A = this chain, B = another copy of it.
Amino acid sequence: MSTWAPPPPLRWWGWGERETPLSDAFLGLLSGEVGLPADPPRRVGLDEVTLLRPHLSAGLRTRLAAVVGEDHVDASKEARVRHAAGRSYIDLLTLRSGRLTAAPDAVVSPASETEIIELLRVCADTSIAVVPFGGGTSVVGGVAPLSGDHRGVISLDLHRLDSISGIDIVSATARLGAGLRGPAVERRLAAHGLALDHIPQSFEYATIGGYAATRSAGQASTGVGRFDELALGLRCVAPAGVVVAAPHPASAAGPELRELLLGSEGTLGVITEVTAQLRRLPARRRYEGFVVPDFAAGVDALRSLGQAGMAPDVCRLSDEEETRISLAASDHGGGTSRALDAYLRARRRRDGCLVIVGAEGDGASVGFRLRRAAEALRDHGGVALGRVAGSAWRHSRFSGPYLRDALLDAGVMVETLETATTWSGLMTLRHRVVDALVGALAGSGTPARVGCHVSHVYPSGASLYVTVMARMAADPAEQWLRAKRAASEAIVAAGATITHHHGVGLDHAPWMGAEVGDTGVAILRAVKQQLDPAGIMNPGKLLAVEQRVRARRA
């Protein structure tokens, strides 16, 4: 993983610049099963985007520039548009339409914790809301530029906090600046024989600070640990002071304050640095594919591995629908899919479920764990597809959001959501969520395809990652929000968590009361009041949707 190259910037209206054509097989499936609109909504050019004028007085601009320098206060249209939204389906609809309801008044890019302390002081003084901005990849409205009750809002872009310091080879730890992106982290650590190996689908763009602020989970987190487990320590600049969570291997010195900052989503302060648990650069990385007869068999196999403490680093089990759709999406006529199809048909696994397992580390450990995984899968009727299937998955591990842009171009709604629950509740949860989505979208007159996969395995349960596709309706935002609401209600009713790794942001805030209870909400408000008495930090996120968009000013 020492060859990670930095990707080009996100496109202002979507994901990265990589052409990802839809395969004929996939287009055929979509056309037949969800329908393709003849006239999909047009995507506008940047010049067509309408924005409110920035609410940035000359006095405020001078004060901000005095802290970070003129060059790092940017109120240009492009900067404001680029910081006006995350990358949820709703965000993409908004950006592509050019009708932005909110944008930051300026994008301010500090270079140090000292500058952030000073900026928060200026903003608290002048009643300006502050939205911390890392990679801008939030899919739950986490970087929506809301001003709350304040006079304006700035986007605090943290890309200049890009240092790696305190590399401790012996302890396998390092201090990582909040603005660092995945590829840069891995490239720079590899030079020291180390790896972070936190690889979410947003890896190319998301940042260390964002991982910490949203409790990110990566594709190998089943084995490597979620980011909240890798973040041994951190620093967070709140308006009321700097919180330093020391990177002890473990401690019993009272409540764990690190866990209060992880997942705080910029509402308490700005996470500036994480001391991360690293690993030796793996000598071996191996990924393999299997097909099991059905989802239930796959769940049982993964459960047995998880409960024996033997789950591979990567553990993914697609259900029948997702398996079928993925095979179509990846069939670019090269014959691989057809050959696979014939192979599976011969073994009566034609309608089965795809499993990807992967392990990284030293040779003996990788070998032992993958043998255990193969045994468990075979015990549950699994058929090995070998390393080709594993490599194919690895090769396309970041392709989802690229593919999404292509689907939106074609007029197809596509969105994901995720949750987690106990093993005993998993099958019911899946049925309820799928039914809720299918039902809500049928109600909108758009038949949907809903596939899902187990993305992370724990001893007590697993996460479930759901992908939905349907033809865009006349009001596509309303179409999705209605389906999302139905899914969220099904999740909460099933006793599952509203989010396993996407975070809360705006989109899940209405369900935080159900998640943590009234007393839990009161605790979070008390902490917020202590750290951010003026309420300038990322208003409206996490707890309250007091105001989805900033009120228009005269």
> What residues of chain B lie closer than 8 Å to A530, measured between beta carbons?
522-523, 525-526
User: In chain B, what residue has the closest Cβ to A242?
Assistant: B519
Mark A120-137 against chain B: 1 for CB-CB distance below 8 A, else 0. 000000000000000000
Mark A506-523 against chain B: 1 for CB-CB distance below 8 A, else 0. 001001100111111011
With an 8 Å Cβ cutoff, the count of chain A residues facing the other chain is 98
Are B463 and A497 in touch, CB under 8 angstroms?
A: no
* A305 shortest CB reach to chain B, Å: 11
**A to B CB contacts below 8 Å, 27 in the list:** A172-B459, A172-B460, A214-B252, A215-B252, A226-B250, A241-B522, A242-B519, A243-B523, A244-B520, A249-B421, A249-B458, A249-B459, A251-B498, A251-B499, A252-B497, A252-B503, A252-B504, A253-B516, A255-B261, A255-B262, A255-B264, A257-B520, A260-B260, A279-B459, A368-B368, A523-B530, A526-B527
Are B255 and A524 in touch, CB under 8 angstroms?
A: yes
**A279: contacting residue among B265, B307, B423, B531, CB under 8 A:** B307
* A365 shortest CB reach to chain B, Å: 6
Given contacts A252-B499, A368-B368, A420-B250, A240 and B520 within 8 Å (CB-CB): no
> What residues of chain B lie closer than 8 Å to A458, measured between beta carbons?
249-250
User: In chain B, what residue has the closest Cβ to A424?
Assistant: B170
Are B251 and A255 in touch, CB under 8 angstroms?
A: no
Mark A352-379 against chain B: 1 for CB-CB distance below 8 A, else 0. 0000000001101100100010000000
Are B243 and A254 in touch, CB under 8 angstroms?
A: no
**CB of A38 closer than 8 Å to a CB of B:** no
**CB of A529 closer than 8 Å to a CB of B:** yes
B-binding residues in A (CB < 8 A): 168, 170-173, 214-217, 223, 226, 228, 232, 238, 240-265, 268, 277, 279-280, 303, 307-310, 361-362, 364-365, 368, 372, 420-425, 456, 458-463, 495-504, 508, 511-512, 515-520, 522-527, 529-531, 542-543
> What residues of chain B lie closer than 8 Å to A424, measured between beta carbons?
168, 170-171
A262 to B520, CA, bound (A): 14
